[in-house]
Chains A and B, each alone.
Chain A
Amino acid sequence: MPRTTTVECPVYPPFRALTFDALGLIKVIEARGGVPKVVDRWGEPDASKCVLAASIDDRKTDPLLAVARKNGVIEVLNPLNGELLVTVSDFGNSSARPEDDAIVGLHLFRRQRLELTSRLCTLLTCTTKGNASVKTVDISDSPEDSGASKTWNVCASGNIACSQVDGSENYALFGGKGVEVNMWDLDKCTNIWSAKPPPPNSLGIFTPTWFTSATFLSKDDHRKVVAGTNSHEVRLYDVSAQRRPVISFDFRETPIKAVTEDLDGHTIYIGNGSGDLASVDIHTGKLLGCFLGKCSGSI
């Protein structure tokens, strides 16, 4: 008889989550003290509208949700009812076809309080070939895009796989296959820091760079960055200290697909390709614990 474990259904704190899938659907899942349930579904199943990246500006009044789809279109929606506010097609370069140069990262900047009436929102996107661009979009009347945009290239060669913007929204970091983690100042569009790979070990073997996920460690401090690689390593970088990673540790055997920071600033959660979720104390690099559960696919 296989060894069985029982999983009790705990009482959840109330939460609301938005999920995006490869058919372009957006589903709203809510849990109000009981079992989470899908309460709403927006969009029609269409594989060309596969959602590649999403970002939310979660304010109390007038929140916005930006969604980047596979056909190159970026949509800005109201996350409370799914109503489509603006569609931005042909973002950034119009030279590259959307299938070749898919959008990898998307960030919707927070709007200042003063701009409540002006209905402008700013988006930062990054594609796999490294074309990053910042664009302001007007969502007042016409659902068409208009507005200035500035584009720059983030990497010379290689593919970008992950991008993040820090809490103060002045700095953005990018990393990917063959691309070291680098941090850019968004106002001046300059590269202020880029990482260096750890030295090859005593056998002379070095693993090629392939960052699959990255995040800033805390909202107010843009100097500490945690990145996960394809070779199941998690590295902590300190921008103000050195270019090599400060701490780096291994986690199981599949690529680290997701890294997020906890609100307390020294715990991170990592998810890998075979569905293992764990929390790590980043100050010591020690694994706090893995989450058991029914998750069987990659995170």
Chain B
Amino acid sequence: MGGKRKNSESEGMEGDNDGKNSNKKMKKEKTEILPSSIKNKEKRSAVHAKLKHQKKLDKRKKLKARAAAEKRALELGEEPPPKQIPRTIENTREADATVCMPDDEELFAGNDADEFSSILKHDRTPKILITTCRFNSTRGPAFISELLSVIPNAHYYKRGTYDLKKIVEYANNKEFTSIIVVHTNRREPDGLLIIGLPDGPTAHFKLSSLVLRKDIKNHGNPTSHKPELVLNNFTTRLGHRIGRLIQSLFPQDPNFQGRRVVTFHNQRDFIFFRHHRYIFETKESKQSDSKGKKAKDAKDESIAKEKVVAHLQECGPRFTLKLVNLQHGTFDTKGGEYEWVHKPEMDTSRRRFFL
């Protein structure tokens, strides 16, 4: 067969090569054979498996060596060798010129002048209108009832056949501060549209990975205290604006005694929503035998080593959002100006994020 002939040929050639190498003492490097250059699938997969195994062994050896070096250094009382930091995509994120700096007075002036400042300065209390798109959905109503429990002062109205622009008008008349529209596709909530009122921006998010409360193991039931809001990692100007938009949905005076927290965590342009009840507990940590054998020292160390830990119990839905576009003004896809719209030509590298 052709394959076999090639195999024997390559083997023959390898044999020749090895022979040549052993003869030629000048050439010390062995020519490395890439698995991808071997045409025979069995041989190729065998070489590849061998390479992988070799790499795994090397990695294990390096890890052991590092751990041994660190242990030795600690025992000798020296400084352990510095811990290596793994390279992650967040570490190597492309530098963005629009990242908010803490001393940016234009940012603060802009914040004072934007659409959310009246809510964030406690002038208006947030009042949210939640509605859906026109189609029925299986998980939609459950999701909306959970949203109603998460966001205080939220009201649900059935969609009917109203135009969204008309809904904006009605909401303005009734003094709502935001509208949330849950959009459904194939009977599954798929998108979220947050419209600030009276003439606030419209943010369109893609919703995914929705897990309802009943599907979470050991879930807790949320109380009706005003929640604490945690917004993580909204660094750029756009992210800051979105963060303020989310902030304007919740009341600005959280009830810390209620121990309820809502988190919007931004990572790689995905916003993860979590809702927890938390409780702080102080517990004494175990002491190691080598230290503090005397009773006095033990007592001091036990006081010093008390740690406060937080236990979290998840309640409420869990979902992820991704910003599709942000439009200036209320909902008007055809006639409105977009502040930010995602275009495929903006993805110039894997390390570029916008929020």
B345 proximity list for chain A (CB < 8 A) = 5, 292-293
Q: Which residues of A contact B309 (CB under 8 A)?
A: none
- B346 sits at the interface (CB 8 A): yes
Q: Which residues of B contact A255 (CB under 8 A)?
A: 334-337
Residues on the A chain within 8 Å of B259, using CB: none
B109 within 8 A of A: yes
Q: Pick the contact of A298 from B113, B328, B347, B349 — CB < 8 Å? A: B328
Contacts A45-B105, A273-B336 given; indicate if A4 touches B110 (C-beta within 8 A). Answer: no
Given contacts A255-B337, A273-B337, contact A7 B348 (CB under 8 A): yes
Q: Let me know if B338 and A46 touch, CB within 8 A.
A: no
Partner of B344, one of A3, A25, A297: A3
Tell me whether B346 and A294 are in contact (CB under 8 A): yes
Q: A163-188 CB contact bits vs B (8 Å, 1 = yes)? A: 00000000000000000000000000
A231 to B328, CA, bound (A): 17
Chain B residues closer than 8 Å to A298, beta-carbon distance: 328, 337-339
B338 touches A2 (CB 8 A): no
Q: Which residues of A contact B106 (CB under 8 A)?
A: 23, 25, 45
List residues of chain B with CB within 8 A of the CB of A294.
Answer: 346, 348
* B221-247 interface (Cβ within 8 A of A): none
Chain A contact patch, size range: 20 to 34
User: Once the chains bind, are B109 and A6 in contact (CB under 8 Å)?
Assistant: no
Q: Does A47 contact B (CB under 8 A)?
A: yes
Give complex CA distance A3, B345 in Å: 8
Across the interface, which residues of B come within 8 angstroms of A3, CB to CB? 344, 347
A2-B347, A296-B342 known; A254 vs B334 contact (CB < 8 Å): yes
Give 1 or 0 for each of A38-82: 1 = CB within 8 Å of chain B CB.
000000011100000000000000000000000000000000000
How far does the Cβ of A253 sit from chain B's closest Cβ, in whole Å? 7
**Among A1, A47, A275, contact of B109 (Cβ-Cβ < 8 Å):** A47
**Is A139's CB within 8 Å of the partner chain B?**
no
Residue from B105, B342, B348 whose CB has the most chain A CB atoms within 10 Å:
B348
A46 touches B344 (CB 8 A): no
Q: 8 Å CB contacts to B: which residues of A10-38?
A: 22-23, 25
Q: Tell yes or no: A257 within 8 A of B by CB.
A: yes
CA distance A257 to B337 in the complex (A): 9
Within 8 A of B (CB), among A198-235: 230-232
Contact A6 B350 (CB under 8 A): no
When distances are taken between beta carbons in the complex, the residues of chain A under 8 Å from B293 are none
- Whether the pair A297, B340 counts as a contact (CB closer than 8 A) is yes
Is B341 engaged at the interface, CB distance under 8 Å to the other chain? yes
Q: Tell me if A274 counts as interface (CB < 8 A to partner B).
A: yes
Residue of B nearest to A257 (CB): B337
B127 to chain A, nearest CB (A): 25
Bound together, the chains give a CA A104 to CA B110 distance in angstroms of 22
Contact with A along B58-102 (1 / 0, CB 8 A): 000000000000000000000000000000000000000000000
A25 CB to closest chain B CB, in angstroms? 7
Flag if B344 contacts A2 (CB, 8 Å). Answer: yes
Query: How far apart sit A59 and B328, CA to CA, in the bound complex (Å)?
Result: 36
Q: Is B112's beta carbon under 8 Å from chain A?
A: yes
Mask of A256-288 contacts with B, CB within 8 angstroms, 1/0 = 010000000000000001110000000000000
Contact B338 A273 (CB under 8 A): yes
| Given A22-B113, A25-B106, CB of A4 within 8 Å of CB of B341 | no
Give the contacting residue for A296; candidates B112, B113, B340, B350; CB below 8 A: B340
Report the separation of the CA atoms of residues A6 and B109 in the bound assembly, to the nearest whole angstrom. Answer: 35
Closest partner residue, chain A, to B106 (CB atom)? A45
What's the least CB distance linking A52 to chain B, in Å? Answer: 15
User: In the assembly, what is the distance between CA of A253 and CA of B336, in Å?
Assistant: 10
CA distance A2 to B351 in the complex (A): 11
With A4-B347, A4-B348, A23-B110 as contacts: A296 and B341 at CB distance below 8 Å = yes
CB-based nearest B residue for A47: B113
Neighbouring B residues of A275 by C-beta, 8 Å: 338, 341, 343
* Alpha-carbon distance between A294 and B97 when the two chains are bound, in angstroms: 12
Say which residue of A6, A230, A231, A253 sits within 8 Å of B348 (CB atoms).
A6
User: Which residues of B (298-355) have their CB < 8 Å from a CB of A?
Assistant: 325, 328, 334-350, 354
B112 touches A47 (CB 8 A): yes
Contact B348 A46 (CB under 8 A): no
Q: Is the CB of A45 within 8 A of B341?
A: no
Which one, B105, B109, B347, contacts A5 given CB within 8 A? B347
The reply to whether B112 and A253 form a contact with Cβ atoms under 8 Å apart is no
Shortest beta-carbon distance from B191 to chain A in Å? 18
Smallest Cβ-Cβ distance to B349: which chain A residue:
A4
When chains A and B are docked, how far (Å) is the Cα of A254 from the Cα of B338?
A: 9
B112 to A, closest residue via Cβ: A47
Closest Cβ of chain B to A277, distance in Å, is: 12
Q: How far does the alpha carbon of A7 sit from the alpha carbon of B113 in the complex, in Å?
A: 34
> Which residue of the partner chain B has the closest CB to A255?
B335
B323 CB to closest chain A CB (Å) equals 11
Pair A296/B328 contact, Cβ less than 8 Å: no
Which of chain A's residues have a CB closer than 8 A to the CB of B338?
A: 254, 273-275, 296-298
Q: Is the CB of B348 within 8 A of A5?
A: yes
Contact A46 B335 (CB under 8 A): no
Binding site for A on B (CB under 8 A): 105-106, 109-110, 112-113, 325, 328, 334-350, 354
Further 9 A-B residue pairs, CB within 8 A, beyond A22-B110, A275-B341: A2-B350, A3-B347, A6-B348, A47-B112, A254-B337, A255-B334, A255-B335, A294-B348, A296-B340
Return the 7 tightest CB-CB contacts between A and B, nearest first: A47-B113, A45-B109, A298-B337, A273-B337, A2-B347, A274-B338, A274-B341
Please list 30 pairs of residues, one from A and one from B, whose beta carbons are closer than 8 Å in the complex, sorted by A's number: A1-B350, A2-B350, A4-B347, A4-B349, A5-B344, A5-B347, A6-B349, A23-B109, A23-B113, A45-B109, A45-B110, A46-B109, A47-B112, A232-B334, A254-B334, A254-B337, A255-B335, A255-B336, A273-B336, A273-B337, A274-B341, A275-B343, A296-B342, A296-B343, A296-B346, A296-B354, A297-B338, A297-B339, A297-B341, A298-B339
